Amino acid sequence: MNLRTLGLRKSSPLRADHPGIGQRCVLCKRAIRAGDRTGLVPPLDSEEPALDDGGLICHWTCIESGLSRLRQGETAAGTTRQFLESWADAFSRQAVAGERCDAYTSEADFILKNGRSFEYAALPRGVRMGRPRECFRNAAALALRKPDMYMYVEGYAVNRWIATHTVAHAWCIGSDNFVIDPTWDEGAEYFGVPFRHDYLRRVLKARRDYGLIDNAEMDFPLVTGAHRVHGVSNHLQRLEGHHNLIVFHIVADKHQNLLCSHNDLLSGLVSFR
């Protein structure tokens, strides 16, 4: 993790006249000495004496060691796919006795049948981190701001800081198919569905929130089949050039009707073939 995102910065070796010399590190309780590299931790409600700039001084090695203990271990390969398969299997068994017959039994079923795995890569130069915990917004904004460079992907992934949990997530991919994640700086096991910019733009315009797959506002049109997939992601080819970033089309099923409020959306989607 980039510790700067937590507001932590490593000092240069402290000089003998630094005001922190002689104070105790709030983590290991050892005295701070000249030559030590340190960092400042927000004081919160601690009774420890803070420096003039409002932080509690710590040895930098103590900060790194503490965060390392918080960070989870390596994520097993295939974790996200296994999670999706377990979810899809459970809903498939329930759907056998159900009355509603959708194109997919669950969001997981849709993702598995139309998505693929992606490999994490560091953010390229010129791409900044977005707002914390707003992955759908961040990824959509990046894809629509630079449509010739990035494509929006939605699915599930693992944050290395909570490695035992697979969570709904959105990111982008570049022309090399590697993950461009403007929300997490340590993600893993990405598995998702790439979407056309046209579809992303139209759905976001039609609804009041971000996210395409978990779209209760429009009655889950991807899962029900109201918005049909034209082409399959199994044939996803290496993206070459800036104008080949379209993996598949989402088109309106002419045999089904969506909510009346989305008629305008449907008329535009038909042209996606």
Domain check: are 220 and 158 in the same one?
yes
Count of CA atoms in the C-beta half-sphere (13 A) of 60: 14
* Confidence (pLDDT) at 164: 63
Domain check: are 239 and 105 in the same one?
yes
| Span 63-77, pLDDT tens digits | 877 766 655 556 677
Q: Which of 80-84, 184-188, 238-242 is least confident?
A: 238-242
In contact, 175 and 168? CB cutoff 8 Å: no
* Confidence (pLDDT) at 77: 77
Closest CA to 129 of 164, 177, 172: 172
Does residue 1 carry a pLDDT above 80?
no
Domain check: are 62 and 99 in the same one?
no
In contact, 230 and 251? CB cutoff 8 Å: yes
Residue 123: alpha-carbon gap to chain centroid:
13
Domain check: are 104 and 39 in the same one?
no
- Structurally, the chain folds into a number of domains equal to 2
Domain that holds residue 167: 79-272
- C-alpha gyration radius of the chain: 24
Q: Scanning the structure block, which residue is given the tokens 């449907």?
A: 266
pLDDT band at 5 (very low <50, low <70, confident <90, very high): low
Structure-token pair, residue 71? 């960070």
Which of 17, 35, 70 is the C-terminal boundary of a domain? Answer: 70
Domain check: are 129 and 241 in the same one?
yes
| Span 207-231, pLDDT tens digits | 888 999 999 999 999 999 998 876 4
Which of 39, 70, 101 is the C-terminal boundary of a domain? Answer: 70
| Number of residues written out for the chain | 273
Q: What percent of the chain has pLDDT over 70?
A: 67
Which of 70, 93, 116 is the C-terminal boundary of a domain? Answer: 70
Domain check: are 10 and 104 in the same one?
no
Domain check: are 207 and 98 in the same one?
yes
CATH number at residue 10: 3.30.40
Task: Determine which helix (DSSP H) or strand (DSSP E) holds 158, and give its type and residue range.
Answer: strand 151-159
Domain check: are 116 and 237 in the same one?
yes
Closest CA to 196 of 216, 173, 180: 173
pLDDT band at 142 (very low <50, low <70, confident <90, very high): very high
Does residue 61 carry a pLDDT above 50?
yes
Domain check: are 234 and 102 in the same one?
yes
